[in-house]
Amino acid sequence: MSYFKQTSLIYECDCGVINYFDPFTFWNFKGKVKCAGCDAIYYMEIEEGQRTKGPDKADPPHDKLPGFAETKDWKAITDPDKVNPAPQARPDFQGKPIPIVRNVRGKLVSGRPLTPEELIGSRPRFIVEGKIRKNND
């Protein structure tokens, strides 16, 4: 077996499914992973993106699912019970921008769609007046 196959974040299980351990969540990892194809559990240690130990057969329960997996004929496995969802930049990510009226420093910003009534010229009224009206914060 090649050095790459022994140390990479890609592991081809005996069942033929190729499991990808995404570098974002598996960069430093010690624990058990479940194959997305045959549900076999493997123990492995990954240090700075290189597999240093394993995969060795282990007993359930598993700690983590692979980030992505596919079969030999290039069919992706996307079942959420088999693979992890992709890591998001924000834990509260919901697929579109979250409307905000204050930034992380507490300053007023127009981080949401504004109606013409909320504007003075082209500036948001609440920023010009320095306060938020109605039920915003």
Give contact residues for Zn ion (rule: CB under 5 A).
13, 15, 17, 35, 37-38, 40
The CB-of-37 to Zn ion minimum distance in angstroms stands at 4
Nearer Cβ to Zn ion (82/125): 82
Question: Whose structure tokens read 């300053």?
Answer: 107
Distance CA 78, CA 111 (A): 34
Distance CA 82, CA 79 (A): 5
The CB-of-11 to Zn ion minimum distance in angstroms stands at 9
Helix/strand/coil (H, E, C) string of 28-89? CEEEEEECCCCCCEEEEEEECCEEEEEEEECCCCCCECCCEEECCCCCEECCCCCCCCCCCC
Q: Which residue is nearest to Zn ion (CB)?
A: 13
The CB-of-117 to Zn ion minimum distance in angstroms stands at 60
Nearer Cβ to Zn ion (17/108): 17
The CB-of-10 to Zn ion minimum distance in angstroms stands at 13
Nearest 5°: CA angle at 115, between 109 and 117?
100
Nearer Cβ to Zn ion (17/46): 17
Nearer Cβ to Zn ion (37/54): 37
